[in-house]
């Protein structure tokens, strides 16, 4: 799953392009489970960027989109 209009970077690509990001913008970083996004957030924060880790990741986001049925 991909969030439409959100840029998608691998960690290696992020290390190559981070200087092109706007330091006056807040970035919400998400991955599948929250682990890699936490690493990316740490990297960006150390470089002076304002970042928020979507800690539960896409797994939790996708779960919220699935209709829930009560089991009897």
Active site residues: 31
Two tokens at 3? 């969030």
Q: Contact at 8 Å (CB) between 40 and 64?
A: no
Q: For residue 13, count other CB atoms closer than 10 A to its CB.
A: 11
Residues 6+ apart with CB under 8 A from 27: 21, 44, 49, 50, 51, 52
């Amino acid at each position: 799953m991909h969030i439409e209009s959100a840029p998608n970077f691998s960690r290696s690509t992020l290390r190559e392009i981070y200087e092109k990001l706007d330091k006056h913008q807040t970035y919400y970083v998400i991955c599948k489970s929250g682990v890699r996004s936490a690493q990316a957030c740490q990297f960006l924060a150390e470089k002076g960027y304002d970042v928020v880790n979507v800690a539960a990741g896409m797994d939790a986001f996708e779960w919220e989109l699935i209709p829930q049925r009560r089991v009897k």
